[in-house]
Amino acid sequence: GNPSGHADKEVMAATVLTSLSTSPLVLYPSSVPTGNTTTSKTWKEVLSTSYSSSTSGNWSWDASDQSVPSTPSPPLSKDANTGFLHSAQGDDASEDVSESTHFMFEDPIPRKRKVKMIKNLNSFLCRRNSDSDYSDGEEDFYYSEIEVNMDSLTEGLSSLTPTSPTTAGPPPIFPPPLSDVSRSEYVGVNGSQSHTSSLLSQSAPSTLCHIRTDHAYQGPVTHVRTVCIGEKRQPAIGTHAAVNKNHSLVTPATKSAAGTRKPRGEAKKCRKVYGMEKRDMWCTACRWKKACQRFTD
DNA sequence: ACTGCCGGGTT
DNA sequence: AACCCGGCAGT
């Protein structure tokens, strides 16, 4: 960990939150060039809209409103993945982040500060979430689940070629956009998280960042999520079943009856990704020498 | 040698 | 249930 870095982030985030609550903070004063229809809402508008709607506790982002700037979202994913991977280097990897963002999404303006604010704000909220979890004695960290406009996503992907085996880091960096159904499912199913999700959506409307805890023994993953680094014990979908690398269901019965070990997965597991020295970053299963639940096959 | 993780033990 | 690890099998 990096206590001083956390403090800085929290101070920064607190400042942002204060600004948000007292006066409408114009993060992106100009209309957003998404290349998509005529969505020209400023962030100010988006934010104020978000707040008013949040009072009713009902969230309804118009689908057309999701064609919002893609700029802040990549740092989120980068921060949640690469930044974490290279972990101990603290919180100042954001310079590289914004540059690569700029490169990836062809944004002519390097908005370092703005990007940083958004990022820190999210990490702050994440931390708040964890505080309550710590009271449970749980060992939790967390990850941001983000949702990216498909257009900007593919744009970024085209230059990234994530299929390249040389790409370092945990695999699922770029999640496909979640449908409205799956999004509301998060809020609905995970009731205790709904507030956090709303807050994040307010602070980062372009990314619809979802905070979600992740069980170490999660079952089949039907939708891709950003990585990771998150885990929390919760009644998981599939404690009894897992998906092997052929995406076929493997039940305990299947395993034992076969008598043969299931073929080794191809994905890099926590051990290999983080290394022995960062064992505390492994998923719980890996730490217990069980089948990895973070990088499933 | 390294890695993934089953099976079983301990707390 | 959470946690740990010996030991086996795949690479």
A251 in the same domain as A178: no
In this prediction, residue A277 carries a pLDDT of 82
Q: Considering all nucleic acid strands, name the nucleotide whose C1' atom is nearest to the C-alpha of residue A261.
A: C9
A210 in the same domain as A248: no
Residues 6+ apart with CB under 8 A from A233: A138, A215, A216, A284
CA–CA dist A51, A33 (Å, integer): 24
- Say yes or no to pLDDT of A17 above 70: no
What would the pLDDT profile of A257-290 be if each residue is shown by its tens digit?
334 556 666 778 898 888 888 888 899 999 999 9
A183 in the same domain as A38: yes
Measured CA A257 to C1' C5 distance, in angstroms: 25
In this prediction, residue A219 carries a pLDDT of 65
Residues 6+ apart with CB under 8 A from A265: A244, A245, A292, A295, A296, A297
Among candidate residues A185, A216, A236, the one where a domain is terminated: A236
Measured CA A167 to C1' C4 distance, in angstroms: 33
What would the pLDDT profile of A133-176 be if each residue is shown by its tens digit?
333 433 344 444 444 444 343 333 333 333 333 333 333 333 33
What would the pLDDT profile of A94-110 be if each residue is shown by its tens digit?
333 333 333 333 333 33
Whether the CB-CB separation of A216 and A293 falls below 8 Å is answered with yes
Q: Considering all nucleic acid strands, name the nucleotide whose C1' atom is nearest to the C-alpha of residue A271.
A: B3
- Contact, A96 CB vs strand B, < 7 Å: no
A117 in the same domain as A20: yes
A208 in the same domain as A284: no
Q: Which nucleotides of B are covered by protein (CB under 7 A)?
A: 3-8
In this prediction, residue A10 carries a pLDDT of 54
DSSP A292: -
Give percent above pLDDT 70 in chain A: 10
* Mean pLDDT value of segment A219-227: 38
In this prediction, residue A266 carries a pLDDT of 74
- Say yes or no to pLDDT of A207 above 80: no
A103 in the same domain as A133: yes
Token readout for A124 is 């702050």
| Number of domains, chain A | 2
A167 in the same domain as A45: yes
Measured CA A295 to C1' C5 distance, in angstroms: 22
Among candidate residues A236, A256, A287, the one where a domain is terminated: A236
A198 in the same domain as A59: yes
Among candidate residues A187, A217, A236, the one where a domain is terminated: A236
A172 in the same domain as A220: yes
Token readout for A84 is 């974490």
In this prediction, residue A22 carries a pLDDT of 42
- Say yes or no to pLDDT of A291 above 60: yes
- Contact, A287 CB vs strand B, < 7 Å: no
More confident site: A185 or A14? A14
Token readout for A243 is 């998906």
A61 in the same domain as A150: yes
Q: In terms of residue numbers, what domain contains A261?
A: 240-297
- Model confidence band, residue A243 (pLDDT cutoffs 50, 70, 90): very low
Q: Considering all nucleic acid strands, name the nucleotide whose C1' atom is nearest to the C-alpha of residue A289.
A: B5
In this prediction, residue A260 carries a pLDDT of 52
A106 in the same domain as A172: yes
In this prediction, residue A171 carries a pLDDT of 38
- What backbone torsions phi and psi does residue A5 show, to the nearest 5 degrees? -60, -40
CA–CA dist A121, A15 (Å, integer): 9
Measured CA A277 to C1' B11 distance, in angstroms: 25
A251 in the same domain as A222: no
